[in-house]
């Protein structure tokens, strides 16, 4: 199952914005939520694009070194082997990938100074030096190994790249686990699977899955508000509703929505996810408060037969 943490956060923010705004059309919030969820697809394309651009920069470096007035032996023999890497060749020539770049206009964020720095760091990796010195040509396993190193050891670890992500997607850290898994999945694919990766792939199914989950969670949290508040209110001993953080109320309602409306999500997963979200986005006391309320309501719903989970062990797990 894919990580849904970032989708829950985006849905929570959309519910909060919708219920706190006055006069704005409902469609505005729905459209904004869809855009936020689908931003992970642009991030995924951008990660692949960064890999391609860093590798292709070897060609520019070769020209620069060849045009030097005083050349060293290294300048004259600068290797561009990485450009012939089968994964890079795919990214350079796959029509569907190129089309997605064009439609998203994501290439506007590529900055040559960052690419130059990434390529320089990449060229110093022992695994890269070993790669260009190897006499093997068109070894797909070797090609995938070096691309994985470029991505995980250079691109993801670079502060300039992280700052660029902050500039483009301020909440990218919520999505990185999902985007990273998709990118590594692409790198690990076989030659035949790679050819159809962006047209007939598990990635596209995952994008649709998180979109469906996020929109359903959003709409059902809104529509079930009265019923959920009726469950929450009796559990608030010594608390008045206006003293409870608005986000805590929304987090409770979203968790209850998953309890009763999402039959394939284990109860413990739902509880743990929203407790973690409350620690990050709400007050210092929110976690314990939300945990106590959810525990009471969960037991009540179990006793009344209102939690119907599909699959063995989902109610207790």
- 185 burial (CB, 10 Å; 0-12 / 13-18 / 19+) is middle
- CA 317 to chain centroid, in Å, comes to 25
pLDDT tier at 65, thresholds 50, 70, 90:
confident
Domains of the chain, earliest start first: 5-210 (no CATH), 224-303 (1.10.940.10)
pLDDT score at 75: 54
What CA–CA distances, in Å, run from 117 to 32, 91, 143?
35, 21, 21
What CA–CA distances, in Å, run from 228 to 214, 248, 253, 314?
19, 13, 6, 21
User: Hunting for tokens 């260009």 — which residue is that?
Assistant: 132
pLDDT tens digits for 129-182? Answer: 999 998 887 788 999 999 999 999 999 999 999 999 999 998 899 899 889 988
pLDDT tier at 1, thresholds 50, 70, 90:
very low
What radius of gyration, in Å, describes the C-alpha atoms of the chain?
A: 24
pLDDT score at 285: 87
Asked if 186 and 194 count as a contact pair (C-beta separation under 8 A), the reply is yes
Asked if 80 and 18 count as a contact pair (C-beta separation under 8 A), the reply is no
pLDDT score at 217: 98
Q: Give CA angle at 131 (139, 148), nearest 5°.
A: 75
Average pLDDT over residues 117-122: 96
pLDDT tens digits for 71-100? Answer: 666 656 788 999 999 999 989 998 888 988
Residue 200 above 70 pLDDT? no
Residue 313 above 80 pLDDT? no
pLDDT tens digits for 269-304? Answer: 999 999 999 999 998 889 999 999 999 999 999 999
Residue 196 above 90 pLDDT? no
The total of other beta-carbon atoms located within 10 Å of residue 66's CB is 11
> In terms of Cα–Cα distance, which of 184, 177, 50 is closest to 117?
50
Asked if 161 and 155 count as a contact pair (C-beta separation under 8 A), the reply is yes
């Amino acid at each position: 199952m894919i990580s849904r943490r970032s989708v829950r956060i985006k849905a929570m923010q959309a519910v909060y914005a919708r219920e706190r705004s006055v006069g704005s059309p409902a469609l505005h919030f729905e459209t904004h939520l869809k855009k936020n969820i689908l931003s992970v697809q642009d991030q995924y394309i951008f990660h692949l694009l960064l890999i391609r651009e860093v590798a292709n920069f070897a060609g520019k470096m070769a020209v620069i070194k060849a045009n030097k007035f005083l050349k060293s032996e290294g300048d004259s023999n600068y290797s561009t082997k990485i450009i012939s890497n089968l994964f890079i060749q795919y990214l350079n020539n796959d029509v569907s990938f190129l089309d997605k770049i064009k439609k998203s206009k994501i290439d506007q964020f590529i900055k040559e100074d960052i690419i130059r720095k990434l390529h320089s760091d990449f060229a110093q990796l022992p695994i890269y030096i070993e790669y260009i010195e190897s006499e093997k040509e068109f070894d797909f396993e070797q090609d995938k190994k070096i691309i994985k190193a470029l991505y995980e050891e250079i691109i993801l670890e670079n502060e300039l790249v992280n700052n660029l992500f902050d500039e483009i997607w301020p909440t990218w850290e919520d999505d990185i686990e999902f985007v990273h898994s998709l990118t590594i999945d692409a790198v690990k694919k076989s030659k035949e699977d790679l050819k159809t990766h962006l047209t007939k792939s598990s990635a596209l199914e995952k994008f649709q899955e998180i979109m469906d989950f996020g929109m359903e969670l959003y709409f059902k949290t809104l529509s079930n508000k009265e019923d959920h508040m009726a469950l929450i209110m009796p559990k608030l001993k010594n608390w008045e509703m206006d003293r409870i953080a608005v986000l805590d109320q929304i987090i409770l309602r979203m968790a209850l929505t998953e309890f009763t409306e999402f039959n394939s999500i284990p109860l413990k997963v739902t509880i743990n996810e929203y407790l973690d979200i409350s620690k990050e986005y709400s007050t210092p006391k929110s976690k314990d408060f939300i945990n106590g309320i959810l525990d009471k309501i969960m037991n009540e719903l179990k006793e009344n037969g209102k939690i119907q989970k599909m699959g063995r062990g989902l109610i207790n797990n």
